[in-house]
Amino acid sequence: MAADRLKVGPIMCHAHGLCAELLPEMVRLDEWGYPILADGPVPPVLRSDARAAVAACPTLALRLRSD
């Protein structure tokens, strides 16, 4: 099964910060409110949280990509 990775579109991202609320295990915010993503693929246990974070992103900047 392909491993899903989180990606944030840096231009699309407007620092709403929902990703860090919904997926704190993989997303922390810098001092200006922009997400810093953990390296590596999304572990299976976090997959549904990751999908929720992607769906909740107000600007659709957060994406899950399988590679």
Residue from 3, 14, 47, 48 binding other proteins (CB under 8 A): 14
2 near other proteins, judged by CB under 8 A: no
Which of 33, 40, 43, 44 is close enough to bind other proteins by CB under 8 A?
33
Mark 28-63 as b/e (b = at least 16 C-beta within 10 Å): eeeeeebbebeeebbeeebeebbeebbeebeeebbe
Please report whether residue 39 would count as binding other proteins according to CB under 8 A. Answer: no
Residues that bind other proteins (CB under 8 A): 8-18, 21-22, 30-34, 36, 54-56, 58-60
